[in-house]
Structure 1
Amino acid sequence: MLSFATEFPITHDCHALRFIEAVKTWILGSPHTRLTPNMLRDLAPTGEASVKEGHESLKTLGVSGSDQDAVAVRYKTSSKGLEWTTTSVFSRTASDAWVRIQVSCETSHPAVRLPPAKKPILVRTLLDEFGGAPDGLLRIGRSPFRLEDTDIDVAAQLIRGEAGCRLPLVYVSAPFQGGPIVDCDRLAADLSAMAHVVVEPNRPFSVRLRLDVGSENVYGGTVGIYWPEGGGRRSFFIGRDYESPSQVSKAVFDEIRVALTNRRPLERCTWASVQESWSRKEIQALQASGSQELSEYIEAFDKELDAKTERIEDAEREIRRLRSELQVYEARLAAGGGGVSIVKPGREQDLYLNETLIIVRDAIADALTRVPDNSRRQHVLESLLKANEDVDDMAESNREELKQILRGTKGMKSKMRSRLEAMGFSITEDGKHYKLVFQGDNRYVFTLPKSGSDWRGGLNAASDIGSMLF
């Protein structure tokens, strides 16, 4: 069973021999290996070689040509009824160099449970040894890419899948209040060589980005996974499904890991591709030498046939994966009422948590007062209201918070400013007044006098602002 797979570009100055040396370093660094440096000394970047010691085996296959240099390493080890196979492939052309690493685990006994899938240390070994290379607009690394206020075009290309990246994008949107809901540095390190982690700078950036991407961007602290070339989006946030930042991060990692294991690999970065190239070169060498040895021809052709068979099996696995994925989408569509969503999202982006849902829920509650008892409309509206009754009413809490802040206010004290900014207001001075803009949206601008008249003035202002926003 394939438990992990990823592929990523590395610096172009890496060559096949350095790649083999790095893999050897990883193997020999394991406290469980019985292989020794002396056993691995004959491994070369071209040709075929193999080593076996106890429950461990290592096989390499390398080919060098005018179009590319490629080497594949397959390392197997058995322990406690489990057989682990790690296949790493290096491919370097005139323009770039890519690496693929995949791990599979098989059990020899039905009672043995497969352990949880983990990211192999080999990924970090290769990344530390060679460094990541550009993948479209972004570079492979262990740190997140933090957008600046001027990076709207970059963010839009990433969201739309037009940035030329092969690795998926994890987009961490700016929350309504405070910092990101996940530890972006740790998440980027965990997903290094698996996905790009991009961090949004602030809420006004999100509002501006919405116009460029047709509201396809996640927002308000939500973490979104975007697939290259516009391949869809998944959203993760603290709420019903995830109760803590660590749960969100784990869910994002698991989603990326599972998706990458199901993704069709780069053809040049597979064992079958290297095997086919090597076999073809062997056949050409036999023909050029005028060899008449039938057994040598048969062996070379058999290896090429094995490579093609492996490719067919890969294609069949991809077909099965796509069928399974299609069934998931069909089930989601069926659950949504035959493929029609109850409410299509508009172009307006929430300015606070659950805003659209709260507004729709309030409208449903109001509509319930206007329909006949025991009517079909009453039953449908009651069902919708009950299905969404456990949503936090941030509108009500925001109205109360605004009253507490502005009650009896005279002027703009630092504590008051901080609390207003925490709610999402930006504050500037405008003559005898303070100008408040909510969530960077210039449609929602309010003024407060620098010197209030009495305690009722602040409550009146809170009531006016609250009725317009919440």
Structure 2
Amino acid sequence: MITYTTKFPVADTFRREAFITTVIKWNQGSRFDKIEDIQWDGESCECRWEQDKVSLEIQEIPSEDIIASRLKKEDERGIWKTDFVLNYRQKYIAVSVALETTEFTTDFYPTYYPPFFVKMVIYGGYAGGDMGLPVRQTPHLIEDCGEFFGKVVRKEVRTMLPVVFIVKTVGGENPVDPGNLAFRLQGVAHVLCESEKKVELPELSENAEEGETREGKIFIFYPSSNKKSRVLNPSGRLQNQESLEDRIVNDIYNYMNQRMRQSIDTWDGIETEKVHILNRNLLSSRNAAEEENRNLYEVFGEQLEKMEASNNRLSSEIQRLTAELQGMRMKFSDREQIPALYLGDERDLYEGEIREIILEIISEYRKNCKEDTRRAHIISDLLECNEYKRLPEKRREQLKNALKGYRSLNGSLKSLLESLGFEITEEGKHYKWTYFGDHRYMTTVAKTSSDGRAGLNIASTIDKLML
């Protein structure tokens, strides 16, 4: 399980020696993971140190200007792997922390936190500029980077990190402390805020709905073109700055942890690439071999090319599945790490059914809640934090439209019913429509009908019993 990942630009000065020195200094300053008597000769970039259940390794690909380190340790939670990958040719660093559970794991909910190494890179002046905006641990004033912000809103630039913009309330206060938020998100997101002076931002006005103001809101813009920007409007809600800050941090971390990483930005990907380079070197020397071995080299080369092509496909698939698995874990994990409700014996008849029905129920209940009450605040928070696809409503509309004016069960209607999970059987002059084969949810329908309202009545029965 990935608990932390980021990728941000670094300065020209952050190269092999500075990287190794910082990694060793990071380990030597650790209270729990320190390896005693680490000695580095100042030249070798293939190193390994080990003590008890903690190991630290460094490897590089000189031809690609890439160097990486891995700290591996085992404790009661499982096996931790902390990886730093520096690409000093393309001037960025990729960081990840992952946990592999074991049979001795006692805690499946590790706290998401950045390794202190990220702070050391920023404190040491090694962080670079993300499309011109410096990566740092303090917030940026919007008047100093208004042009950059406009390009972010219009999606004219693609940053490595998300951008968070904090707008002051009508009373001139910040809904969260920009300094605290920037410190917690250093190396993971940029934080922008307003000074005492108001700055006109036509980009936000153009995207706002009529009558809507920006005061007191928090805007989150993601690098991915497929991820919509998010607007948090904490005004009028009973939540303190700390809980709102946690919510923003969790949202950013969840997004970063779900992003698919390039193979070369991972420790395992670097090891694979080193094998590929070794294999290519072996192939390049085949002309020096004796003539009687030429055929053997050709066979070997063909097999090797096939193997490398297969490895590339498998590596890409692993990355894709890792990102997908991480996304599913984030999607179904509770933000507070404690679920609001536990499932009983009932199981989904289709994916997300129970969750969608519950959300529909509380959504309807919300309409009748008195504003600014505790119940209204709790329900609004649940609806905002859970994606509600309105699947029961969509099924209801499909059935209503299809059954309107029902006379008999034609082919297209039967196909639609079966796609919605109905099993259709005949019994004399009637059909039995059973929802997902569960006989608790069965209705009897005449094979032919002359009543113009029969279809709507059937749809209503199905709605009340099954949806």
User: Could you tell me whether the CA contact under 8 Å between 2:121 and 2:127 is conserved in 1?
Assistant: no
The aligned residue for residue 116 of structure 1 is 111
Cα distance, 1:252–1:43 mapped onto 2, change above 3 Å: farther
Match of 1:224 among 204, 209, 219: 219
User: Could you tell me whether the CA contact under 8 Å between 1:160 and 1:229 is conserved in 2?
Assistant: no
What is the Cα deviation at residue 37 of structure 1? Answer: 4.2
What is the Cα deviation at residue 218 of structure 1? Answer: 7.7
The aligned residue for residue 443 of structure 2 is none
Asked if residue 72 in structure 1 is aligned to residue 77 in structure 2, the reply is: no
Match of 1:159, as an amino acid?
V
The aligned residue for residue 13 of structure 1 is 13
- Structure 2: tracts of 5 or more residues without a match: 334-350, 375-467
The aligned residue for residue 398 of structure 2 is none
- What count of residue pairs does the alignment treat as equivalent? 342
User: Could you tell me whether the CA contact under 8 Å between 1:40 and 1:51 is conserved in 2?
Assistant: no
Inter-partner Cα distance in structure 1 for 2:209 and 2:197: 14
- Give matches, 1:325-336, under 5 Å: none
What is the Cα deviation at residue 73 of structure 1? Answer: 1.3
After the TM superposition, which of the residue ranges 114-123 and 279-288 deviates more from structure 2? 279-288
What is the Cα deviation at residue 160 of structure 1? Answer: 2.9
Cα distance, 1:327–1:82 mapped onto 2, change above 3 Å: closer
The aligned residue for residue 29 of structure 1 is 29
Asked if residue 279 in structure 1 is aligned to residue 275 in structure 2, the reply is: yes
The aligned residue for residue 89 of structure 1 is 85
Match of 1:62 among 56, 60, 63: 60
SS at match of 1:13: coil
Inter-partner Cα distance in structure 1 for 2:213 and 2:134: 22
The aligned residue for residue 51 of structure 2 is 53
Asked if residue 179 in structure 1 is aligned to residue 184 in structure 2, the reply is: no
User: Could you tell me whether the CA contact under 8 Å between 2:72 and 2:80 is conserved in 1?
Assistant: yes
Cα distance, 1:78–1:385 mapped onto 2, change above 3 Å: closer
What is the Cα deviation at residue 121 of structure 1? Answer: 0.7
User: Could you tell me whether the CA contact under 8 Å between 1:20 and 1:44 is conserved in 2?
Assistant: no
Cα distance, 1:301–1:248 mapped onto 2, change above 3 Å: same
Match of 1:249, as an amino acid?
E
The aligned residue for residue 260 of structure 2 is 264
The aligned residue for residue 166 of structure 1 is 160
Inter-partner Cα distance in structure 1 for 2:353 and 2:168: 32
What is the Cα deviation at residue 101 of structure 1? Answer: 0.9
Compute the RMSD of aligned alpha carbons: 4.2
SS at match of 1:76: strand
Cα distance, 1:31–1:334 mapped onto 2, change above 3 Å: closer
Cα distance, 1:104–1:300 mapped onto 2, change above 3 Å: farther
1:166-201 Cα deviation digits (max 9, x unpaired): 200111012111221211112111111100001134
Cα distance, 1:194–1:34 mapped onto 2, change above 3 Å: closer
Asked if residue 317 in structure 1 is aligned to residue 334 in structure 2, the reply is: no
SS at match of 1:250: helix
What is the Cα deviation at residue 212 of structure 1? Answer: 4.1
The aligned residue for residue 389 of structure 1 is 371
SS at match of 2:192: strand
User: Could you tell me whether the CA contact under 8 Å between 2:77 and 2:106 is conserved in 1?
Assistant: no
SS at match of 2:260: coil
After the TM superposition, which of the residue ranges 193-202 and 250-259 deviates more from structure 2? 193-202
SS at match of 1:387: coil
After the TM superposition, which of the residue ranges 186-195 and 110-119 deviates more from structure 2? 110-119
Cα distance, 1:175–1:331 mapped onto 2, change above 3 Å: farther
- Structure 1: tracts of 5 or more residues without a match: 343-379, 393-470
Asked if residue 98 in structure 1 is aligned to residue 92 in structure 2, the reply is: yes
Match of 2:121, as an amino acid?
L
Identity, % of aligned positions: 17
What is the Cα deviation at residue 315 of structure 1? Answer: 1.3
The aligned residue for residue 185 of structure 2 is 191
What is the Cα deviation at residue 326 of structure 1? Answer: 8.9
Q: TM-score, normalised by structure 1?
A: 0.61
What is the Cα deviation at residue 98 of structure 1? Answer: 0.8
Cα distance, 1:262–1:81 mapped onto 2, change above 3 Å: closer
The aligned residue for residue 430 of structure 2 is none
The aligned residue for residue 417 of structure 2 is none
Asked if residue 126 in structure 1 is aligned to residue 124 in structure 2, the reply is: no
Q: TM-score, normalised by structure 2?
A: 0.62
Inter-partner Cα distance in structure 2 for 1:303 and 1:30: 39
User: Could you tell me whether the CA contact under 8 Å between 1:146 and 1:201 is conserved in 2?
Assistant: yes
User: Could you tell me whether the CA contact under 8 Å between 1:16 and 1:71 is conserved in 2?
Assistant: yes
Inter-partner Cα distance in structure 2 for 1:202 and 1:316: 47
User: Could you tell me whether the CA contact under 8 Å between 1:272 and 1:311 is conserved in 2?
Assistant: no
1:280-337 Cα deviation digits (max 9, x unpaired): 221233334558999x999999999777644421111234456788999999996899
SS at match of 2:55: strand
Inter-partner Cα distance in structure 2 for 1:225 and 1:331: 30
After the TM superposition, which of the residue ranges 209-218 and 248-257 deviates more from structure 2? 209-218
SS at match of 2:182: helix
After the TM superposition, which of the residue ranges 125-134 and 109-118 deviates more from structure 2? 109-118
Inter-partner Cα distance in structure 2 for 1:20 and 1:232: 38
User: Could you tell me whether the CA contact under 8 Å between 1:238 and 1:244 is conserved in 2?
Assistant: no
Cα distance, 1:22–1:388 mapped onto 2, change above 3 Å: same
Inter-partner Cα distance in structure 2 for 1:119 and 1:41: 29
1:409-431 Cα deviation digits (max 9, x unpaired): xxxxxxxxxxxxxxxxxxxxxxx
Asked if residue 156 in structure 1 is aligned to residue 150 in structure 2, the reply is: yes
What is the Cα deviation at residue 273 of structure 1? Answer: 3.5
Inter-partner Cα distance in structure 2 for 1:118 and 1:18: 24
SS at match of 2:168: coil
User: Could you tell me whether the CA contact under 8 Å between 1:62 and 1:70 is conserved in 2?
Assistant: yes
Match of 1:126, as an amino acid?
V
User: Could you tell me whether the CA contact under 8 Å between 2:27 and 2:34 is conserved in 1?
Assistant: no
1:134-166 Cα deviation digits (max 9, x unpaired): 111422111111012x86543322223323312
Asked if residue 138 in structure 1 is aligned to residue 143 in structure 2, the reply is: no
Cα distance, 1:34–1:155 mapped onto 2, change above 3 Å: closer
User: Could you tell me whether the CA contact under 8 Å between 2:3 and 2:257 is conserved in 1?
Assistant: yes
What is the Cα deviation at residue 239 of structure 1? Answer: 5.5
SS at match of 1:164: coil
Cα distance, 1:337–1:157 mapped onto 2, change above 3 Å: farther
What is the Cα deviation at residue 268 of structure 1? Answer: 3.7
User: Could you tell me whether the CA contact under 8 Å between 1:8 and 1:100 is conserved in 2?
Assistant: yes
What is the Cα deviation at residue 62 of structure 1? Answer: 0.7
